[in-house]
Amino acid sequence: MLWLLGTLAVSAAVVLGSGAVRCSAVDQIGYALNAAAPLVKTDVQQRCQVATSTSAGQFVVVTMWVLQLMAWAFATLFVAGFTGLVRKTT
């Protein structure tokens, strides 16, 4: 779970630090969570625009893809561990 939260924090830092997403800071955090968090979708995509014509914007888009894959993996591992689907064999 900590790795998933870390992934979400990194996504927010990337979006806020890039300057390529044009909207308010709160909407930028929402955009980052929307892009990276599994099963969390908001309407912030309509309010925020990523400047994909710049290298910073392209970096944000590709990084969000990678972070979304990582978030899905960490969420899946958390659920599997929480439900006991994965067990140690001795």
pLDDT tens sequence across 52-63:
999 999 999 999
Report d(CA 75, CA 50) in Å as an integer: 26
pLDDT of residue 46 exceeding 70, the answer is yes
Tell me the residue ranges of DSSP E strands in 7-78. 21-22, 49-50
Is the whole-model pTM more than 0.75?
yes
What value does the mean pLDDT take over residues 17-43? Answer: 87
For residue range 3-25, list pLDDT tens digits in order: 989 999 999 999 999 989 999 99
Report d(CA 15, CA 38) in Å as an integer: 17
Report d(CA 90, CA 78) in Å as an integer: 21
In the chain, pLDDT over 70 holds for what percent of residues? 94
What pLDDT, on a 0 to 100 scale, did the predictor assign at position 88?
67
pLDDT of residue 35 exceeding 90, the answer is no
